[in-house]
Amino acid sequence: MQQLLWIETLIKLLAGILLALGPRLTIRVLGLPRSETGFWPRLLGAVLIGLAAATFIEGRSPGSHGLGLPGCVIVNFSGASIMSTLLVLGAGPASARGRAVMWTLVILLILLCALEIANF
């Protein structure tokens, strides 16, 4: 269980830092839809960094009843659900690379959810 929390922390922290520090470059490299400003991608980056901090604290606190794996499952499943819905409805990235990145993220989030559920 602790290992999954560390993986969760690292994934969210890396994505958050990339979006917070270089939103336009990150969006361009991944082929995602461009934003007029970096505000919303940076805001998402801040949220991801906050979630990473929460999972870090949970992982370091023995007996803590905070976010934990159930909270991570909810966050990951929500993200995967919204991303897959956007992709199915054609409201996702226009580029093939962007769609591939998004589907890859959906699959990875669902796999991570399955691993986390198996460790409850």
Amino acid at 24: R
* Global confidence as pTM: 0.74
DSSP secondary structure code for residue 22 in this structure: -
119, HSE (Cβ side, Cα atoms, 13 Å)? 16
What pLDDT does 75 receive? 87
Amino acid at 30: L
What pLDDT does 100 receive? 95
Q: Which long-range contacts (CB under 8 A, 24 or more apart) does 56-59 make?
A: 56/5, 56/9, 56/13, 58/5, 59/2, 59/5, 59/6, 59/9
What pLDDT does 66 receive? 67
Tokens of 4: 């999954």
Residue 120 CA from chain centroid, whole number: 20
| Rounded Cα distance, 76 and 108, in Å | 9
What is the pLDDT tens value at each position of the chain, 120 positions in all? 678 888 989 999 999 999 999 999 999 999 988 888 888 899 899 889 989 988 888 777 777 666 777 888 888 898 899 889 889 998 888 899 999 999 999 999 999 999 989 987
* Phi, psi values for residue 62, rounded to 5°: -65, 130
